[in-house]
Amino acid sequence: EEDIRLLETAAQMVMNAISRQKSEAALHRMETQFKTLADQLPAAIAILNSNRFVYVNEASERLSGYSREEIQSLDFTAFLHPEDRETGLQVLGSVSPEEMSRGAEARFVDRNGQERWVEVQGRRIEFGGKESYLVAAIDTTERHKAAEALRRSEEHLRTVLQNMPVMMSAFD
């Protein structure tokens, strides 16, 4: 009877080990699929843990000008525009695990010191057994440049019209 219990215990341990290996293999497959998918996206995707990047996709490299290894060696606040750092930390702290945060616009500074605009969304997740943040960022720099050019053009037109020496009227 003692031998049977030992065999049952050993069999249970083997079954647990096999189950754990299958779970780990499935987790590895899912992680590989996530990374493959994330690298195909045009948006910068990152996972932050304790203000450090633990994962970034290829778009993050293109957007920032840094390699993955360089990005992962830096605190995320190093990328935020100095005037936006406090707001960035507040927004990150308000992210919920229940739903994706609404898009917030922020400035950051790329490797060349250029100011870039991004629309950022995030969600609190568990990653590697730790509370982390899944963040997606879309480059909106060109949209900001176009909006600024339009504003300047409208201002110029308004100045020209206000300073015209002739009276103008518009009729319906």
SS3 at position 72: helix
Which residues have a Cβ under 8 Å from the Cβ of 62 and sit 6 or more positions away?
Answer: 44
pLDDT of amino acid 27: 76
pLDDT of amino acid 45: 92
pLDDT of amino acid 10: 79
pLDDT tens figures, 10-52: 788 888 888 788 777 877 788 888 788 888 888 999 999 988 9
pLDDT of amino acid 138: 92
pLDDT of amino acid 97: 67
Structure tokens that stand for 80 in this block: 């935020």
- 59-65's contacts with Cβ under 8 Å and 24+ in sequence apart are 60/137, 63/110, 63/116, 63/118, 63/137, 63/139, 64/108, 64/110, 64/111, 65/110, 65/111, 65/112
Distance CA 22, CA 56 (A): 27
Phi, psi of 154 (to 5 degrees): -65, -40
Of the candidates 106, 35, 113, the residue with the CA atom closest to the CA atom of residue 68: 35
Helix H or strand E encompassing 3: helix 2-40
Q: Where are the alpha helices (DSSP H) in the chain?
A: 2-40, 58-64, 68-72, 85-93, 141-162
pLDDT beneath 50, residues of the chain: none
